[in-house]
Copies of this chain bind each other. A is one copy, B any other.
Amino acid sequence: MIGTTLRVLTKSQTTIPSSSRLQQIAIFFFVQAPATHPPVMVAGGQVVDVPPPDGRLRLRVPVPPPRSFLRTARAGLRETLFPDDPFRAVAREPAGRRRALAVLRYVFPCLEWLPSYSSADLRSDLVSGLTVASLAVPQGISYARLAGLDPVVGLYSSFVPSLVYAVLGSSRDLAVGTMAVGSLLFASMLGPAASPATDPALYARLAFTATFFAGVFQAGLGVLRLGFLVDFLSHAAVVGFMGGAATVVCLQQLRGFLGLHHFTHATDIPAVLGSVFSQSAQWQWQPFVLGCCLFLFLQITRYISKRRPKLFWVSAAAPLVSVILSTVLVYLINGEKHGIQTIGSVKQGINPPSLKSLLFSSPHTWLAAKTGIITGIISLAEGSAVARSFAMAKNYHVDGNKEMIAFGAMNMAGSCTSCYLTAGPFSRSAVNRDAGCRSPASNAVMALAVLATLLFLTPLFRHTPQVALSAIIASAMLGVVDLRAAARLARVDRVDLCVCLGTFLGVVLGSIDVGLAVAVAVLVLRVLLSVARPRTTALGKIPGTAAYRRVDQYAMAEPTPGVLVLRVDAPICFANASYLRERISRWITDEEDRVVGSGAAAPLRCVVLDMGAVASIDSCGTKMVEDLKRSLDKRGLQIALANPGSEIMRKLDKSKVLQLIGDEWVFLTVAEACDYAQSNCKVGTDASQGAAAAASPDEMV
C-alpha cells in the first residue's frame, strides 16, 4: 500500500451496532490511497461520518470489552497451572466409557504403551534393564553407605520404586535409583540428630520418614501443578550445586581410600580435609592402593565408553566387575587382616515393610520433613531435567507435573518398604538410553534383577571391600562435576556463571543449605531486579521503512525531529513505576539538552511511548502514566502512546488515564504517532492545556 496512514478512533467517536462481541470493538480502517484511487474501506463495514480534521484516516486501538474478574482469574490460573493442556486427550473423547478409559490412561501411563508393546520392545528393555541392574547393584550399595544406611537398603531402593515408576512414569528413558547427592544430604542433615554409627535404628527410621515427606511434597507439587516452582532452581544453580556436592562427596571418599573408621558429618571442605588430616596416624596403605587401582580401572572404562559410544556397556558393567574382582581378591588374600574393611554380612530377602517405622511424633519429625523437602526439590530438579531433555531428544512429550506425582508415589511407596530417597539420576538414565531402552518396562526388568540379587546373591557381598564402593562413588561423582557446562555459562551469560560459582562455593565452603539459599536468593533477586529496573531505550526510524528500532542497536536509526520515541521493556508495575517516572524524565532532560546543544531547529514537542513490550500494567503503573502526562503538560510537551496491548488499554481506560491523555493520542504504530505528532504538536500550546488539572497528591497516599 502506498503512503498508508493509520490513526486511532476514540471509543466515544463511534458507536457500532454489532452482533459479535469482538466486533463491538471493531476497528475501522481506511487507506489514504493515491488520488487516482477511490478511498478504500478495508475492514469493519462502516464509514465514519465526519472525517477527522487533519484529513487522515484512522485505525483505532480498541479498548477490550470488560471481562469479569472471575473469568480473568480463571483464565490466568489455567495458563499458570495447565500451560500444556494436559487433559487434551481426555477432553477429546466423548463422555462415557471411552472417556473413562482416557482418564485411566492419563493416570496410569503404562496403559498407554502396554497395548502396543511388542516382543522387540521387550528384547530391548530386557537388555537395557539388565545393563542398568549391573550398575544399580554396586551403586545402590555404595550410595546407601554414603547415606549412612545399611547397604541392603540401597538394593531395596532399586526394587519397589522402580516397579512403581514402571506403572506411573511417562519417561521412556529414565532409570530409577538412589542419587549420590541425595544420599549425601541425608547423611549431613540427619546425621547430627541420630548418628548412623551409634544408633542405626533411629537413623534408618528418620531416613524413611524423610523419604516419606519427600514423596508427599513431590506428589503435592504435582497434584497442585506447582511444578514450575522447581524451575526457579535454574540450570546454572543446579550445575553449581551438583558440582559442589560432587566435590564434597569425592573428598569424603578419602575415608574409604585411607581406611579411616571415624569421620565428620559436616560437608564443607575445611571440615572434611581437617577430619582426614587429623587422623593421619590411622592412614592405611592397603585400601589406598586397591582403591587407586579400581578408580583407575573405572576411569579407563569410562573413557573408552566416551570415545566409542557403542561400547557403552564397558563403563556400565565396570562397577560390577570391579566389585567382583576386589571381592575375590580380598577373599583370597584375607584382606580383612591387612586393614581392608569389608561390607560384612548383607541381609538376604525381599524388602521388609517399614510403615510402622515412620516417625510422626518424634522431636526429629520436623528435621525429617525439612530434609525430605530439600532432597525432594533437588531430586525433582535433576529428575525432571533428565526426563525432559531425553524426551526432547527422542521427540516425545513428558508432563512435568505427572512426573512429579510418579516420583512422589514411588518415594511414598518406598518409605513404607524400607527404601530411601529415589529419583532418576542422570548417569543411570544415560546408560539405560544407550542400552536401547524403549519403555519404562526396563525399570521393571531392573527391579526383577535386583530382586534376584536380594534373594540369592547378597551373601556374596560379604567380602566386598568398602574401598571398592568408595572408588565407584568417586568415579561417578567426577562425571557430575560439569566443567563444560560451567565453561558454556562463562561464554554465554556471566551472571549465570556467578550464580553457578556462588552456589558451588556456598556448598563446598558453607553447607548444602547455604549453597541452596545462595542460589535461590540470587535467582529471585535477578528476576526482581529485571522487573524493578527495566530497560528504556530511545528509538529511531530505519530509513526507508516504517520500522522504529533502538538507536543503540542500529547505528542508522534516525531520530525524528521534535519527537522523542521511548520504549519500555517490561511490565509497568509497583516495582518499577517510580524508577520509570525518574528515568523517563531524565531521558527528556537529556534530549532537551541535546537539542539545545546541537542547535537543532526543532525543539522537543512530543514524547512517544512505545508500549509494545509492556506486557501488563497495574494501578501503580497507570498512576505513573498519569503523573507522566501531567508533568509533560507542565513542561509543554505532548505525550503519545504507540501499540498498547489490550490489557494496557483496559487498565488505562478504567483508571481514566486514557481519557486524560485523549484517545486521539493512542496509535497503532510508532510511525503513525511520529507523523501525527510532527504535524499536530505546536510548541507550548495544546500541550499545556492539561496543566490546569494539576496532580492532586491527596490521591497518592
Contacts and interface: CB of A to CB of B under 8 A. Distances in A.
A570 to B, nearest CB: 6
Given A542-B668, A549-B668, A645-B553, A533 B83 contact: yes
Contact of A535 (B6, B489, B615): B615
Contacts of A62: 553-554
Given A530-B571, A535-B615, A389 B578 contact: no
Interface in A456-495: 482, 484-485, 488-489, 491-495
A426 interface: yes
Interface stretch (A106-114, A206-214, A295-303, A627-635): A627-635
Given A228-B533, A389-B701, A532-B231, A493 B84 contact: no
Given A613-B569, A646-B552, A544 B386 contact: no
Given A532-B228, A574-B236, A83 B582 contact: yes
Given A544-B31, A695-B389, A698-B430, A235 B620 contact: yes
Nearest to A633: B395
A231 B619 contact: no
**Which of A43, A385, A485 lies at the interface centre, i.e. has the most chain B CB atoms within 10 A of its CB?**
A43
A668 B550 CA distance: 11
A556 interface: yes
Contacts of A390: 697
B29 A544 contact: yes
Contact of A613 (B44, B492, B613, B623): B613
Interface in A401-459: 426, 430, 433
Contacts of A388: 578, 700
Given A31-B544, A62-B553, A555-B25, A524 B523 contact: no
B645 A700 contact: no
A675 interface: no
A531 B533 contact: no
**Which of A232, A484, A553, A669 lies at the interface centre, i.e. has the most chain B CB atoms within 10 A of its CB?**
A553
Contacts of A264: none
Contact of A389 (B430, B547, B634, B700): B700
A337 B555 CA distance: 85
A573 interface: yes
Nearest to A614: B613
Contacts of A582: 83-84
B668 A547 contact: yes
A496 B618 contact: yes
A4 interface: yes
Contacts of A631: 392, 395
Contacts of A552: 646
Interface string A75-95: 000011001110000000000
A531 B529 contact: no
A527 B531 contact: yes
A466 to B, nearest CB: 28
Given A530-B615, A547-B669, A553-B645, A583 B80 contact: no
Contacts of A555: 22-23, 25-27
A104 interface: no
A534 B571 CA distance: 11
Nearest to A235: B620
B547 A619 contact: no
A634 B485 contact: no
Contacts of A630: 392
Contacts of A395: 631, 634
Nearest to A426: B701
B491 A655 contact: yes
Given A4-B545, A62-B553, A654-B492, A527 B529 contact: no
Given A492-B622, A531-B531, 11 more contacts: A1-B544, A42-B544, A43-B543, A80-B529, A232-B532, A234-B574, A236-B618, A385-B701, A482-B701, A492-B651, A546-B546
Interface of A: 1-2, 4, 6, 22-23, 25-27, 29, 31, 40, 42-44, 59, 62, 64, 69, 72-73, 79-80, 83-85, 228, 231-232, 234-238, 242, 382, 385-386, 388-390, 392-393, 395, 397, 400, 426, 430, 433, 482, 484-485, 488-489, 491-496, 523-524, 526-535, 542-547, 549-550, 552-556, 569-571, 573-579, 582-583, 585-586, 612-613, 615-616, 618-620, 622-623, 627, 630-631, 634, 643, 645-646, 651, 654-655, 668-669, 694-701
22 contacts: A25-B555, A73-B494, A80-B529, A228-B533, A231-B576, A232-B532, A232-B574, A234-B575, A386-B697, A386-B701, A390-B697, A393-B695, A400-B578, A430-B697, A493-B651, A496-B619, A524-B524, A527-B527, A527-B573, A535-B615, A570-B615, A612-B612
